[in-house]
Amino acid sequence: AESSRQLMGDWPYLAANVLQSKRLFYAMDALLAKGPCTAFGPPVQSLDQLHSSAFLIHDIFIDFVVRLAGTHGGKFRASGEGARGGAVEFVTWDGSEQTRGTVALAGVKSVSSCVRKLNFSYQGDVSRLLDVCRETLYFDTVKDMEACLAGIADDDSLEIVRVKSTLDYSSEPTGWFGLGSEICGGMRFVSVSVRLAGSKAAHNMFVDVHVCELLLVLVDIG
Query: What pLDDT, on a 0 to 100 scale, did the predictor assign at position 100?
Result: 93
- Distance (Å, whole) CA 219 – CA 75: 9
Range name among 33-42, 73-82, 198-207 with the lowest pLDDT average: 33-42
> Which is it for strands 134-139 and 211-218: parallel, antiparallel or unpaired?
parallel
* Selected residue with higher pLDDT from 43 and 113: 113
Query: What pLDDT, on a 0 to 100 scale, did the predictor assign at position 187?
Result: 72
- Distance (Å, whole) CA 51 – CA 24: 19
Range name among 16-25, 88-97, 211-220 with the lowest pLDDT average: 16-25
- Distance (Å, whole) CA 167 – CA 107: 24
pLDDT over threshold 70, residue 153: yes
pLDDT confidence bin for 32, thresholds 50/70/90: low
Query: What pLDDT, on a 0 to 100 scale, did the predictor assign at position 221?
Result: 83
**Residue 169's closest CA among 148, 139, 190?**
190
Chain centroid to CA 100: 17
pLDDT over threshold 50, residue 115: yes
Query: What pLDDT, on a 0 to 100 scale, did the predictor assign at position 87?
Result: 76
